[in-house]
Amino acid sequence: MALDASTPVPVVDGSTITREEFQRLYYKPQKPVVLRGLWKQYPAYTKWTMDFFRQSMGNIEVGLYGNRKEDLSKTLQVPNAVMRFDEYLNLIEREPTDLRLFLFPVFKHKPELLKDFEYPKIASGYIKIPFMFFGPSNSIVRMHQDIDMSNVFLTQFHGRKRVVLFAPDQSELLYRLPFNVHSTVDVDHPDYAEYPGLNYVKGMSTVIEHGDTIFMPSGYWHHIEYLDGGFGLSVRTLPYGLSMKAKGLWNLTVQRTTDNIMRKLNDEKWFDYKKKLAYKRADKIIQGLSVA
């Protein structure tokens, strides 16, 4: 039985919502929402298609990432394969594969695409380094938090994605690995015997498709499944509140540096230590819940 993520993420008309409404109802209380049609006002909404990218950037070589079950504790850094971009787009439209194009700096290769959109005025404090994500049907982006704790606006341009979210206050019950922003938990096939804390977590889920933008607040855990071969783009704003800003800075500096050093010294032993500490923290939360 999959984790409890039966609560639907609310959906609103992104083409009509005002900045005041978004800030009051979602941004300040840090609540997820799907903003349908938020990008209708921009040329990218209709211009960015598979054929467009094949024709305009097809000769670029891209690094692709698969689902490495042996590396559950690691942030994706080294690609599994390299391929021409147009060949990759053909592949994900044609057949299943676990290879995804992760954090693709498309605007570094083709900066004129930045003219195809603006940053939505419902928010401010944007980190103006947008990234694109491409993937085939049935591929999974394992559950994680973004290391910088930013607020994320993920817009889908082709195909559908299933998105499962958990609030950051459930991190210990999700067995977050210390010095990391990942969990070894399988959202769709959880082992409740090994991870009893999962009995206490509750999440949200939705399916986004062309023109949908999902707002994922600071620190939210997200698990993403490509239901079809397709692509989306994420833009981010600075973390909300001083505590999340401090957490993001800590993650990017001390936490990541420590994790990288310890993995180089003894990767297997360090991973085992982190798992044991994650279990210990979850058990402490469970005991508190049982007493309450």
Beta bridge mates, 100: 65
Report in angstroms the alpha-carbon separations of 12 from 37, 38, 91, 160, 209: 9, 10, 34, 18, 14
Specify if 126 maps to a domain.
yes
Q: How far is Cα 192 from Cα 55, in angstroms, rounded to an integer?
A: 48
Report in angstroms the alpha-carbon separations of 282 from 21, 48, 170: 37, 44, 10
Instruction: Name the domain count of the chain.
Output: 1
pTM of the model: 0.92
Q: Which residue range forms the structural domain that includes residue 103?
A: 7-291
Specify if 76 maps to a domain.
yes
Q: Which two tokens stand for residue 255?
A: 């936490």
pLDDT at position 70 is 42
Specify if 1 maps to a domain.
no
In what side-by-side order are the strands of the sheet with 161-166?
7-8, 204-208, 161-166, 221-226, 140-144
Specify if 163 maps to a domain.
yes
pLDDT at position 77 is 58
Q: How far is Cα 51 from Cα 242, in angstroms, rounded to an integer?
A: 43
Specify if 2 maps to a domain.
no
Specify if 266 maps to a domain.
yes
Query: What CATH number has the domain bearing residue 112?
Result: 2.60.120.650
Q: How far is Cα 161 from Cα 166, in angstroms, rounded to an integer?
A: 16
Specify if 29 maps to a domain.
yes
Q: How far is Cα 53 from Cα 226, in angstroms, rounded to an integer?
A: 19
Specify if 252 maps to a domain.
yes
pLDDT in tens, the chain (292 residues): 789 999 999 999 999 999 999 999 999 999 999 999 999 999 999 999 999 999 999 999 988 887 654 445 444 557 788 999 999 999 998 888 888 887 788 898 899 999 999 999 999 999 999 999 999 998 888 899 999 999 999 999 999 999 999 999 999 999 999 999 999 999 999 999 999 999 999 999 999 999 999 999 999 999 999 999 999 999 999 999 999 999 999 999 999 999 999 999 999 999 999 999 999 999 999 998 877 6
pLDDT at position 67 is 63
